[in-house]
A = this chain, B = another copy of it.
């Protein structure tokens, strides 16, 4: 946290566990919630909205136990009290107030039309619900805030009523009134204009923003609201949330901490030295949700600092700031140099260097590799997503690829029978290992799995290096090349130490393409282990 007193404080409010949980297909367990809450706390968020106590068993159980966060305030979400009964006599509100949380955030209608159509109560009754609910929170010595639902649509329809909702909340003692763009349809210009107008009536740090991404402007709407004057920002990890998601905290945070216009005006609860946990935090959520991380995610995606075009690469090698808007290490990310059809010499050189392959001053070697790649790419290979196969190809072109074993032939069979409808796959592979012929067999749930089992079942002195290796991903694409349709298979393998590598195979035959990629992945592992290829 910056100690510069001249900086204004911005408060970061994470709602991954509440609004994020409302997403189709998202179902956190209590343990998931605890893990995420602690991670957000360690990163330095100010508020962690943990869920809606009473709405479902998970949220109720989560709020039954105190979490002892070191920095963030645990926040319970809910609705303002129902009309027609007192706050003290509303069992829904009671569950929220009883939750183990230091802060309570209640959603309230601020669009007159919704008060009328959805709640079917008078505008005054709605204001009374806000006021009495806030007072009930304060009576429990908790921090109170009100989420003004549909604020921007409401403001356009009836600005006086929308503002009276804020006023009522703040006069009753709410710490924050949060402007929610519930339908996510407001554009940044409108957000800025409306917030600017509000600041005249509600100066200081009393307003927050809660943006949705329905026009792909949630991050920008949050920035526009800060520019206008709000001092609390709500969002979720990876932009998780209903429909198109919420404002993405993982994109917002580094912009606020690193970019001129924000870093020089505001401070948050996040220490800049802690920002390198950002990528890990983003990956944690994907891991819990069993989602493939978005390689193109701003700041934290694997490709966020990947360079492909030839000119770009030569400039980045001279000075990274030429093609990088921030230093990737600050957010826990890293630079990647890709290889591709468009690859120039400088790409190849940079990629070779990062693979530890030295070609010295031998220019013809680079030309050979480049032409090898272009030739393969015409056949349908793609090396920018198969770095291990690139390295093997480079070694092959340089004559430095060890021969650990030769595959002489293989056969794979899939059998299905009505009487036993679980299909079986078996494979037989003949290898020459260190001059000796070896025939191995394997079984699996599919042909690729059976081949994998077979080839690894008896690799003699190489076998010990492969015990911790496993297939983690397998992708197939049919391509139309100049000569007809071919199958491209990309395989991702991993070992027990958390290393992973990607290989590629191409053939008209999906089994043959898979086998090539599989073969490359094994050879790459042996190469990285530094195994000697010939018997001593």
Residue positions of A touching B, CB distance < 8 A: 22-25, 27, 29, 31, 55-58, 79, 113-114, 117-118, 150, 182-190, 213-217, 219-221, 223-224, 227, 239, 242-245, 248, 251, 254-255, 259, 261-262, 290, 295-299, 301, 303-309, 311, 314-315, 318-319, 322-326, 338, 340-342, 377-378, 382, 384-385, 406-419, 423, 425, 445-448, 473-481, 487, 507-512, 515
Contact = CB atoms under 8 A, between A and B. Distances in A.
Contact of A510 (B182, B245, B301, B510): B510
A298 B385 CA distance: 27
A414 B411 contact: yes
Nearest to A447: B511
Contacts of A244: 296-298, 301, 303-304
Contacts of A414: 411-413, 447, 509, 511-512
Nearest to A218: B216
B290 A56 contact: no
Contacts of A303: 23-24, 242-244
Contacts of A224: 188
Contacts of A418: 406-409
A466 B146 CA distance: 53
Contacts of A515: 416
A259 B189 CA distance: 12
B296 A243 contact: yes
Contacts of A305: 243
Given A447-B509, A509-B414, A325 B24 contact: no
A56 B342 contact: yes
Given A215-B325, A308-B24, A415-B411, A185 B510 contact: no
Given A220-B219, A304-B243, A511-B425, A309 B27 contact: no
Given A22-B309, A243-B303, A215 B255 contact: yes
A327 to B, nearest CB: 11
Contacts of A214: 298-299, 304, 325
Nearest to A475: B478
12 contacts: A23-B303, A187-B223, A188-B220, A213-B296, A215-B299, A216-B219, A244-B304, A409-B419, A410-B416, A446-B507, A447-B509, A447-B511
A235 to B, nearest CB: 11
A525 to B, nearest CB: 21
Given A22-B309, A445-B509, A248 B295 contact: no
A25 B416 contact: no
A229 to B, nearest CB: 14
Most B C-beta atoms less than 10 A away, residue of A295, A304, A340: A340
Given A185-B326, A475-B478, A413 B410 contact: no
